[in-house]
A and B are shown apart, each in its own frame.
Chain A
Amino acid sequence: MQDFTNGTIDITALPKYEEVQFNALSRKYWKVALLNTAIFLFILALAMALLLFFAKETRSYIYVFAAGYLILSIFLIMLYQARIKRTGYAIREKDLIYKSGIISIATSIIPFTRIQHITLNEGIFSRMFQLGSLHVFTAGGGSGSITIPGLDIELARTIKAELTRQLTNTD
């Protein structure tokens, strides 16, 4: 790695993005996630009930269905929990960092100077709990942008205002 130092800067002394302390998402986001899962599971239960009601020959498998349903529910809830636990964001002086993922943990960094625009979205459930999700777009298209879900709406507004201020500063 010494190959591309410039003499004046020591690369190992540069600020390290990998050692940044991440902020967790709002606690209330867990409730939103649970609500979403509950609705999905409810629809699934309804579909299964309909199947059992109309297709009589499937009734002998009712215990298999029930067991599968239970396992899926537990699995989904655990998945959500794991995901929320591993999601975090950090705002440094000059960039925004977002970390997420279950099987693979991805860390994305957007320097403020590369931000194109920022939007703040509020879903129905999110609004119930005063939460919002922040989308930060770059010219790198969809894959180069960051979405931070589950922020307290006031905090999200503050961040958005701050980032927008930074944007106009650099222009």
Chain B
Amino acid sequence: METDFSEPKRQSAAGVAVMFANHLQHSVRVLIFPIILLLVRAKGVNVWYLVAAFLFFLFIIAIYSYLSYLRFTFFLDEEKQEFIIQRGVFNKEHLSIRLDKIQQVNINQSLIQRIIGVYSLDIDTAGSDKKEASIKAIDHHTATILRERLLNRDIDPDIDEQSAPEISTKSSPLLKLSNSTLFKVGLTSNYGASVALLGGFIFAIMETLKNYTEAFQLEENPIKALSTKGLDLASTCVLIFFALLIVLGTNIARNFIKYFNFEVNRKKVVLAITCGLFEKKHTLLQPARVQISSYSQNYFQKKLNLLNMKFKQASFGTADDDHDEDNKKHDIEIPGCDETERDQLLQMIFDNIPQKEATFIPNYRFLVLTIMLRVVFPVALFLLFGSVLSYLRPYFWWIIPYVILVVIMLYFEFKHHRLYLSEGFIIKKSGIWDIEHQILEPHKIQSITTKQYFWHKKADIGHLILHTAAGTIHFKYGKYAEIHLMVNYWLYNIESGKKDWM
């Protein structure tokens, strides 16, 4: 393929194979239960019929894949500044994407694509339409050129042509993660996710074991025996040790699969990020599109001088809940870097390293309400239930470690809840174990909410909520008079400045 995208183009011919694999995978996933049912029921039927049916099934999918390959075209409309994808076998679909709405263009490679030697090009738009725009089979050269075209629409095409080959010749990267860094990152982060994964895994094993013993009516259920006899101290310790080992192991393995060969390169004004062991990911990040930049660190990581960075981009409609899957898709994570590398990256994003000039501390009432809600209230409820249900009483001593743990956690939450301001930057620090700094530029604010409970009027305490396209930032229990000043200043900034948020 040459570099002219003004005419409708098909994907690489190998795309048929990729589509075939995708469709096969998809239909098997959908039809797996009917197929199993059919196989179980159809014991008497001649095996050859089944084989024939299977071949027919493959044939249909192959035809379908070929048709969808033929029908899939894309082109770049230079006049309207739109990228257009046409697709659909039975009903034709016309997808047009305005170039200025494109946030990110990723070149990825799954295992199948790697075998065939093609790439997929995924376009991430900041539009509310959820439809994914992606080209499933394209060679690397065309993909990189198309990506440049889609992103750097203002730049002369001549410069584009020159810069295209430069991509393949590696310049020295801005940041490169060595295996030892990845190992360290795996050791010190994401405990929560791994524990949840492990918990789910153990639960699944227990369930199957239970079913198994029930199905075969075994006398002795190993799990039951465990729970009735109880564990002595030594075996508990061994068990905990193994659990810890598995958590750390999965953590490290996950990190290696996801972030193997992680590299950040600087290309003109954008950051190019590549990583992945099986599935290769290439992401281009445009600094202007970043809404919130954050870095976080826990106690161990601090000792190792490791930081975890995240760049959040606009995600329409889902900005309410920060933990939404769709929201995370837009996040770009840098699993490990040190302080100088962090400053380099921030310098690239902001043209400036954010400073903490003025510090704002929440009122001690921050602790009052949270302690009421998370300590006094649950304990009171537990005691109340305990006084009615006598079998709860032997567990009353649990209250003591619970109260101690929660109070310590709340204290740290309070201690880390800070807002820092400087010319052009808002920095919010928060967290209990992982301490996160979120950096926001005032012109990225979409709207501001200030809030005050009526009993805080006298104490002049209030809350501040900054809404951005990539989520909200809360500062609680601040001095309301100060919050008013900040808000007026930011409003002045947004409304007098010409800086757009995207």
Contact = CB atoms under 8 A, between A and B. Distances in A.
A2 to B, nearest CB: 8
A94 interface: yes
A111 interface: yes
A77 B319 CA distance: 34
B453 A104 contact: yes
A66 B60 CA distance: 68
B421 interface: yes
B468 interface: yes
Contacts of B491: 14-15, 17, 94-95, 109, 111
Nearest to B327: A141
Given A95-B495, A105-B452, A139-B501, A144 B446 contact: yes
B247 to A, nearest CB: 34
Given A139-B316, A140-B472, A146-B447, A3 B467 contact: no
A101 B454 CA distance: 10
Interface stretch (A4-12, A23-31, A38-46): A4-12
A144 B474 CA distance: 13
Given A141-B317, A143-B319, A146-B447, A1 B495 contact: no
A104 B502 CA distance: 33
B488 A3 contact: no
Interface residues of B, number: 41
Nearest to A13: B488
B453 A103 contact: yes
Given A105-B454, A107-B450, A141-B467, A114 B492 contact: no
Interface residues of A, number: 36
A36 interface: no
B446 A114 contact: yes
B467 A140 contact: yes
Given A1-B482, A108-B447, A111-B494, A142 B488 contact: no
B422 A15 contact: no
B380 to A, nearest CB: 21
Contacts of A12: 485
Given A3-B357, A105-B451, A141 B423 contact: no
B334 interface: no
Interface string A91-116: 00011000001011111111111100
A165 interface: no
B320 A142 contact: yes
A153 B126 CA distance: 33
A95 B317 CA distance: 22
Contact of B421 (A4, A14, A105, A138): A4
B401 to A, nearest CB: 33
Contacts of B422: 3-4
A148 to B, nearest CB: 14
Contacts of A146: 447
A15 B496 CA distance: 12
A6 B493 CA distance: 12
A142 B489 CA distance: 24
| Most chain B CB neighbours (cut-off 10 Å) among A9, A15, A94, A107 | A107
B31 interface: no
B489 A109 contact: no
A109 B447 CA distance: 6
A9 B317 CA distance: 36
A104 B451 contact: yes
B488 A140 contact: no
Contacts of B486: 1
A14 B488 contact: yes
A56 interface: no
Given A105-B452, A111-B495, A1 B447 contact: no
A123 B184 CA distance: 58
Interface in B462-502: 465, 467-469, 472, 482, 484-489, 491-492, 494-495, 500-502
Contact of A109 (B357, B448, B468, B482): B448
B314 interface: yes
A145 interface: yes
B141 to A, nearest CB: 35
Given A1-B485, A14-B489, A139-B469, 12 more contacts: A3-B421, A4-B489, A11-B489, A104-B453, A110-B446, A139-B126, A139-B501, A139-B502, A140-B446, A143-B319, A144-B446, A145-B447
26 contacts: A1-B358, A3-B422, A4-B422, A15-B492, A16-B484, A17-B491, A94-B491, A94-B495, A101-B451, A103-B454, A104-B453, A108-B447, A109-B448, A109-B449, A111-B447, A113-B500, A114-B445, A114-B446, A114-B447, A140-B319, A141-B316, A143-B319, A143-B320, A143-B472, A144-B468, A146-B447
Instruction: Please list the 8 inter-chain residue pairs (A to B) with the smallest Cβ-Cβ separation, ordered nearest first.
Output: A141-B319, A144-B467, A140-B467, A140-B446, A3-B358, A139-B469, A138-B446, A94-B495
